[in-house]
Each structure stands twice: as structure tokens, then as C-alpha cells.
Structure 1
Amino acid sequence: MPNYPPRESSLHPTYPTSMAGFIHSNEPIEANESDWEIFSDYSSASEAGSNLSVASSIRDYVYENGRRYHRYGDEGKYILPNDETEQDRLDLIHHVFLMILGGELHLAPVGNPKNVLDCGTGTGIWALDFGEQHPESTVTGVDLSPIQPVWSVPNVRFDVDDLEKEWVWPQDHFDFIHIRCICNGIRDYQQLINQAFTHTNPGGWVELTEFSFEIVSNDGTLVPNTALAQYFDTLVNAYKRVGQVFPCPKMMRESMENAGFVDIVEKTFNTPWGPWPKNEKLREIGTNMALVGSAGFEAYALAAMTRALGMDLMEAKDLCHRAHMDVLNRNIHVMNPTYFLYGRKPE
């Protein structure tokens, strides 16, 4: 077996275990009144691996608004881009989740699962990290876009497929199914969870993670005339027109219960946006979320606003830019609820 160099994306900084404690707290976050500046020790994902896994014949994309989008399956179903800028954003979001979870890749008590499925794998960074940590596991990452590394570690493979179509894997097969930030590409969430239940091995676990499409402020610094508030009002209006699923703990829990999952655990973490929190670790998360927003506001909005609302491209871009400036404004203190749920398939 040849010696492969370590993946750059696996060289995460050490995350103190105390970070995981923040997920249990809904207490107001205290703002930092001292001077601040943007910072990040983030490194993007890179190369290296061992087995060819993604066919090149489906790399046929749509170019719109200066961004690249997928064409596979129902064109336009997933309304976010898949270009290099978006891939960097997805890897940075993965970094944020590691900070939120104290360096852990998941919350479910999965042990050492034999077969693992990562739904909406994106760049494949979660699947690759899990595969490296669990060499005894076989990890499959699936996504609409073939943007994963062409070469991966021996126990990780990537498939291109539409998760809303009938799943091709065996029933009762996966010991752990990881589903994170997938609502932008799903129109029937219950059907997704039903299929996850069918293909989970009895005793296996499914974990769901989603950002809310609402932002909150505990101190009233987010007012209706801010560009940030206007951005979310416009975005939600556009997403309603394209049939977007809006995640919330009640909907996610009910979907799991309806499918048949038991021992469901639900946790919510208020993710700060911007480097305004006084707490050092929360400030680092907020700062990274501000960096996410530099590309994220346009990623979420451009296609939706121009397609569904008929907005002029420059008008949509201007709204995205002004909303991001609000996130960088130390006098506007906003948080984005982030939902974590996991449950077990009965024996």
C-alpha cells in the first residue's frame, strides 16, 4: 500500500471539548464592546486519496448570474451553485460545525459503524474526515453534483444521485446516515426521512442538521429597515415560490417520528453571525460565519431571487452586499438557530 500524504482538510485545529457545551445553552450571548477584527485560521480542502470514484460524464453544468449550477436530475432543483467559490464556502461551513461540536463530526452515539451514508455530501469533506477517523467503516457520500475529489481514501466512495428518487442501496444497510444542510435540494422532506429509515440497519442511527431560515436578535439590534432583515424577507418569499422546505425542530422531529425512529434527541445552537460576542469561542464562530457570508449571501439568493421573483441581477447583488455589511456591523447582534436531531431505528 503506498503512503499517501495527509489531506490538508484533515489538519483541523484542536477544538476544546468545552465547545460542545455551548450547544445546550440558549442563554443570551453577551456582545463584545472592545475593538475587533476579522480573522480566520481556516484552510480549504485539497487533494490526495486512493480510489477513483466519480464519473466525468456528468460534469455538465449550467452557468447563470456569473455562477455555476448543477444540471443532473431535475435541472434547477438545488438552487445553490456548485463552483469553486461555493466549494470553499461549504468547507468553511464544515469548519464551523467542527467548532460548534467541539471537534466532533456528529452527535449520535454511533460507535464504529460498518456502513455509513453522507447525504448531500457536497465537497465530500465530512465523508472523508469520517472515513479517516473510522478506517473500519465503509463511507458513501452522495450528491447531485460531482464536485468531490476524483481520488479518495480507500474506504470512501462518492455517488452522484438524486436522494428524492428511489434509493439504490439495500434496505437495512447503513448503520449511520448523516444528513446535513440538505433542505435546499429537497421538496418532500418526509419522503427523504422515510427512505433513510428503510435503508438504516435496525439499531442504526440517522442524524439531521439544518440552519434555520430565520435570524434572531436578543437585544433588538436587528430592526426591519436593516438590509439583513430585508434580505431574509425577500429570500423566504423567493424560496416559497420554488417549493423550498423550511426546516424547524418540530417538522424534523415529526418526520423522524412518522418514519418510525425512536430515542430522538433534539438540540439547538444559536450560531452568532459576526465577531460581536464577548465570549472568545463564540466570537470565533461568529467571525467564521461572517466569512461564510462573504460568498453565502449570493449563493443562497441569486438564483432564487432572479428566477422566482424576477429581480434584476444587480439589485439582488446589492441586497446581498448590504446584508453582509450588516453582519460585519458590530452594533447588529444576530444569531442563526442551528438544529441538530438524531434518532435510532428500532431493533
Structure 2
Amino acid sequence: MASPKDKTEEAVLPVVSSPAPAPEPGPKTETEKPPTTTVPEGSAAGILASGAVIEADDGDDAGAHEPSDYGSDVPSETTSVKSSVRDYIYENGRRYHRYGETGKYILPNDEDRLDLMHHILLMALGGDLHMAPVKNPHHVLDCGTGTGIWALDFGDQHPEATVTGVDLSPIQPGWVAPNVRFEVDDLEKDWTWAENKFDFVHIRSICNGIRDYQRLVDQAFRHTKPGGWAELAEFSFDIHSKDGTMTDDTAIGKYMKIATEAYEKLGIVFPRASMMKECMEKAGFVDIVAKTLHIPWGPWPKNKKLKELGAYFALTGFEAYGLAAMTRGLGMDEVEAKKICHDAYNDLANRNIHVVGPVHYVYGRKLE
């Protein structure tokens, strides 16, 4: 990774003006195994999957960033989603879940952020929706479905499967493909689906809204069909630089110190791969694979796709992860909290600060 240069180089960021068949049964557990799908060597997804050091862009040209369009097409054949829960909390200009216990989920549920996070993970996995080697699924459960974009994409790729997406908020499309349905429910309560039902249980980006993660994974195991798979995918808030370019006196360093204190006050612990793997083992899954991708924050990488991915990640992160935590956990004024978030975001325009954030994937199989 390139060393910091004497002068500050600014990259283009949007301006923020505000202050095979299932393996044979066995008890083995594997860690840091490459995903089952093959990604091109040297591609953005290939670099992330290999764990190779991300090369920094140390050229004089900032390199214009042109993000590509993203989204998903909803098939014309449709069915309706039924829900009466459409009352939200609006706080600090962001929208949060109200369903169930007020304020239990700390991240905003605005659709643009959720869909952008989906796009980021698609890029990180080379266009794949998951790491688990799922084959010919018939019943699939998407926990924490958000806008439903993962469920819709999976249903489009697997028309033979029935995909159920569940979330605290009914922000999914009103009309969806006939093999996709959405439910509003609290996953911390007893699950009402039949046991041993799902060929694949997909759980993504809900760890910081779950107080008993072990119970969540236990329920996933109970409702996974023998021979089926479950996958956990979680963003971690352990933002850091591997080369020491993020120091305490940078805006990002200050943001991390304050936000971490806020989460501690709220009693929220962000996930680690070891914790997620342990939960899978205790639940009874076998053939467990754990993989961590270190995704760049900001457009500092030399690789063009990683540069794009990093710019997207910067757009989603700082207010979403920090604003409610600071105002709720530390009683901070909204204006002050927003300034801390925006200063950290703008700090990423300095290509000499090489920040990454881990995304943990852990998947396992239920014995037949």
C-alpha cells in the first residue's frame, strides 16, 4: 500500500455542504476459505476475496468518479404485499423503524441507503447474491429484507423458489413477482414458519438491531431444512487503516472515537466473524465457512472498481452509523453530531487516508 504523500490529494466525492451437492456430513469448521463462486483474479471482487493488500492510488490525477446506475427491475407479473404497519420515527432528518420496541434498531431504514448497501455487496461478491453453495432452492427466507431488493433479485434468479422476506418495516414494493412475498415481523420473537422448511436462510445487516444473536441463529437452524444452508452477513463498525494513515487527529479518527463511545453507552456490540461462527457452531450447523472482506471507504484505491465501491460506501456510512448513536447514546446536539459525521465524510476526499471497513460472511449447513 502506498505511503502518505506530503501534499493532500483530493479525490472526487459528492460535495457535502452541511456543517455442487452438499458435502458429506462432518463436524469440521473452516475459516477464511474463499467463496464457492469464482471471481476473476485481479478484479475488485477477486482482490477482496483473496485478502490481498489494496493498492492505493498515489497518482497526481484525482481520477473522476462516475458511479454506475444501480437498482433492480421488478417483473411484470405481480402480487400484493399486505401490511398495516406504516408508522415511522423521524429523527435528525432520518427515518427509523417504529414496529415493535421503539428505537431498537439504530440504523435508518431509508430506501436509498439500503439499496446502495445491496449494490455495494453485489460489487464485493462479483455480482453474486450470497457465498453459500445453495443448489436448487425451493423455499428461501430473507431475514432483515429491508427494501426487499435481495429477495427480489434472488426470486428473479430462481423462479422455481418461493422467497419470503421479513423486516420490521414495510418499505418493500407494493407489487412483486409471484414467487416473492413480504412479511412485517420481529425476528427476535418466536418464528411462526414451519420448522425444517427453508433450503436457505439468508440473514444480512441486522446484528446491531438484535439483542440475542444466538437465539436468532438458533431459530434459523430450527427452520432450516436438513441439508439446507444458512448465511450470516454483517457490516462491522471496526473502521480502520491497515497502514496507520487514519490517526486520532483526523476527522475520521475523531468520528470513530465518539461513535464507539456512543455505541458502548447504548449497549450495542457490532459483530465479529469469530462471534458469528461461534453462534453457528452452538446452533448445530456444520461445514461452517467464515470470510471477512475488507472494503475500502472512500475512493483511495487504485483499482477503478474498488475506487467506485469505496465512494459508494462513503456515501452510506457516516450519518447512518453515527447520527442516532451520538444523539441517543451521548445526548449530543443534532447539529454537532451531523458536523462530526460530515467532517469524517469529507476527510475521505484526502486520498492519503486509506480506510477499510470489514464485512463478515459466515455460512453453514444443517445435517441431513
TM-score, scaled to structure 1: 0.90
CA contact (8 A) 2:74 2:152 kept: no
> Is residue 162 from structure 1 mapped to residue 182 from structure 2 by the alignment?
no
Tell me, in whole angstroms, the C-alpha distance in 1 between the residues paired with 2:113 and 2:120.
Answer: 11
More helix by share: 1
Structure 1: any 5+ residue segments left out of the alignment? Answer: 1-14
Q: 1:92 aligns with which of 116, 119, 123?
A: 116
Map 1:73-112 → 2, pairs under 5 A: 73-82=100-109, 86-112=110-136
- Name the amino acid aligned to 2:93: G
Shift of 1:17: 4.3
The residue that corresponds to 1:335 in the other structure is 356
3-state SS of paired residue (2:328)? helix
3-state SS of paired residue (1:202)? strand
- Name the amino acid aligned to 1:95: H
The residue that corresponds to 1:61 in the other structure is 88
Tell me, in whole angstroms, the C-alpha distance in 2 between the residues paired with 1:33 and 1:190.
Answer: 44
Per-residue CA deviations over 1:294-337 (Å, capped at 9, x if unaligned) read: xx311222222111110011110000000101122211111111
The residue that corresponds to 1:226 in the other structure is 250
Between Structure 1 and Structure 2, how many residues are aligned? 326
3-state SS of paired residue (1:205)? strand
Map 1:170-319 → 2, pairs under 5 A: 170-292=194-316, 296-319=317-340
3-state SS of paired residue (1:269)? strand
Identity of aligned residues (%): 62
Per-residue CA deviations over 1:181-205 (Å, capped at 9, x if unaligned) read: 1112111111110110000001100
CA contact (8 A) 1:187 1:245 kept: no
- Name the amino acid aligned to 2:80: L
CA contact (8 A) 1:211 1:338 kept: yes
Shift of 1:112: 1.4
Shift of 1:175: 0.5
Backbone CA RMSD of aligned residues: 1.7
Tell me, in whole angstroms, the C-alpha distance in 1 between the residues paired with 2:215 and 2:271.
Answer: 14
3-state SS of paired residue (1:275)? coil
Tell me, in whole angstroms, the C-alpha distance in 1 between the residues paired with 2:127 and 2:329.
Answer: 38
3-state SS of paired residue (1:131)? helix
The residue that corresponds to 1:114 in the other structure is 138
CA contact (8 A) 2:297 2:356 kept: yes
Tell me, in whole angstroms, the C-alpha distance in 2 between the residues paired with 1:17 and 1:139.
Answer: 29
Tell me, in whole angstroms, the C-alpha distance in 2 between the residues paired with 1:26 and 1:48.
Answer: 37
The residue that corresponds to 2:11 in the other structure is none
- Name the amino acid aligned to 2:82: V
CA contact (8 A) 2:74 2:177 kept: no
The residue that corresponds to 2:25 in the other structure is none
Structure 2: any 5+ residue segments left out of the alignment? Answer: 1-37
3-state SS of paired residue (1:210)? strand
Per-residue CA deviations over 1:97-137 (Å, capped at 9, x if unaligned) read: 11111111111111111100011000000000000000000
Q: 2:79 aligns with which of 51, 54, 67?
A: 51
TM-score, scaled to structure 2: 0.85
3-state SS of paired residue (2:239)? coil
The residue that corresponds to 1:26 in the other structure is 51
CA contact (8 A) 1:22 1:269 kept: no
CA contact (8 A) 1:53 1:158 kept: yes
CA contact (8 A) 1:215 1:335 kept: yes
CA contact (8 A) 1:48 1:151 kept: no
For CA contacts below 8 A with separation 6 or more, give which structure has more relative contact order: 2
Shift of 1:236: 1.9
3-state SS of paired residue (1:23)? helix
